[in-house]
Amino acid sequence: MKAAAAVSIAAAVVLLLRTVREIGWRRTFGLTDEPRHPEEPRLVIGGPFRLVRHPVALAAILALAGLALAARSLSAALGGAVVSGFIALAARRSESALVERFGEVYRRYQRAAPFLLPRLPAARRGRGP
């Protein structure tokens, strides 16, 4: 359990740091919608955003899962599940605003990148060489 908790928390930290590296800390934590530099795209689809559309939400859910595993407590697991549900709901609700703001570009991105759970590589799904 301790190893699984450590892996989950480490994955959350790495994902969050990669997101900060991609778009800056102010944008990562919702303090601004503006890119760090004017030449950066407003809709970011690279880095962790190519894996999932909401990497910060995924990082928070991974951290909660890791903390629940570390606590080895049913109440921690249930609490983490409830909070994770609200995080996923908030991310889902933000989608309509993103579609309104970016239009067809965001719709294409929705088709290309999963919501919260990264896809398995093709080779692992049995479609690869």
Q: Determine contact, residues 116/58, Cβ cutoff 8 Å.
A: yes
Res 101 pLDDT > 70: yes
114 falls in which pLDDT band (50, 70, 90)? Answer: very high
Checking if the pLDDT of 128 tops 50, the result is no
Q: What pLDDT is stored for residue 41 in this prediction? A: 59
Structure confidence at residue 23 as a pLDDT band (50, 70, 90): confident
Higher pLDDT, 27 or 103: 103
pLDDT digits (tens, 9 = 90+) for 42-68: 788 899 999 999 999 999 999 999 999
Q: What is the pTM of this model?
A: 0.84
Q: At what angle do helices 2-23 and 55-71 cross, to 10 degrees?
A: 160
